Amino acid sequence: MQISTFLIQNEAFAVPSLVVEEYFRPLPITKVPGSNRCLDGLVNIRGRTAVVINMRTCFEVPPRDPGDLGEMILLETSQGLVDEARELGLYAFDEPVVLSVDSVSQIFQLAADEIHPAPPHVNQPFVDGVIQLDEAYFTMVSIQKLIDTILHGKTEELR
């Protein structure tokens, strides 16, 4: 399996590459009053409206400096998910979802047995596990649990 990695305040995270459609520089965000605190708002990507999930807020990291815009990751929709991703049991939302991160890092190839369970002290319900590659550690994020937690409010069911 390939993983796409990104950074949040010098901490490394990963998602399966098969659920990533593209990376891009930040677009103007329209705020949505009364939405989940982890949602930055909405962006327009080539005529499609996408919800923006702020990964810093999800992991309880202070906001970026005002001049630091970070990067964005557009996730595949369920319609765009390839057969290989479906066979692996990967999840995609029906509507476009964007992750706001500090920076996009690298793509790595790894075996499924290289993903280890999350440590017991991890309290975010959308962490699937930990990956160690050489001297680096990556926190594996479950897109399904992230979307269920942030967009569907299923936090209690996942803990």
Q: How far apart are CA 97 and CA 48, in angstroms?
A: 10
CB 25 within 8 A of CB 71: yes
Question: Which domains does the chain show, CATH number per domain?
Answer: 2-158 (2.40.50.180)
Burial 37-61 (b: 16+ CB within 10 A, else e): ebbbebbebeeeebbbbbbbbbbee
CB 96 within 8 A of CB 19: no
More confident residue, 96 or 157: 96
The string of pLDDT tens digits covering residues 18-75 is: 999 999 999 999 999 888 889 999 999 989 999 999 999 999 999 888 778 899 999 9
Query: According to the model, what pLDDT value does residue 56 have?
Result: 94
The three-state secondary structure class of 49 is strand
- The answer to whether residue 118 scores a pLDDT higher than 90 is no
Q: How far apart are CA 74 and CA 52, in angstroms?
A: 9
The string of pLDDT tens digits covering residues 76-105 is: 999 999 999 999 889 899 999 999 999 998
Query: According to the model, what pLDDT value does residue 51 have?
Result: 95
- The answer to whether residue 141 scores a pLDDT higher than 90 is yes
- The answer to whether residue 123 scores a pLDDT higher than 80 is no
Q: How far apart are CA 150 and CA 158, in angstroms?
A: 12
Cβ-based neighbour number of residue 10 at 10 Å: 8
Q: How far apart are CA 156 and CA 158, in angstroms?
A: 5
Please state the rounded mean pLDDT for residues 129-148: 88
Q: Band the pLDDT of 154: cuts 50, 70, 90.
A: low
Give the DSSP H/E element, type plus range, for residue 71: strand 71-75
